[in-house]
Amino acid sequence: MIYTTNPVTGWKVAGNMSSSEITTLAKPILDRTIIVIAASIVIGALLVGLMILSISRPLNRLMKGAERISRGI
């Protein structure tokens, strides 16, 4: 049970909710939160993968060029 005091009258106002009501009302929020978190993880993983590729491709080309130079080609 939760109660609050009305600042104008000074009366105490109380409320009562069953846990099944709270669960029912919170379920859509939980579902949407899980979807947003999953989408964020997927998008983040894709961005990290693209960043890794954008760094590793030029490094691989540089290594191949250095090998050719070391062989005198």
Question: Residue 73: pLDDT band by 50, 70, 90 thresholds?
Answer: confident
Residue 40: per-residue pLDDT: 98
Average pLDDT of the residues in 39-68 = 96
More confident residue, 18 or 58: 58
How confident is the model over 9-46, as pLDDT tens digits?
999 989 888 889 889 999 999 999 999 999 999 999 99
pTM metric for this prediction:
0.61
Instruction: Give the Cα-Cα-Cα angle 32, 34, 40 (nearest 5 degrees).
Output: 100
Contacts of 57 (CB under 8 A, 6+ apart): none
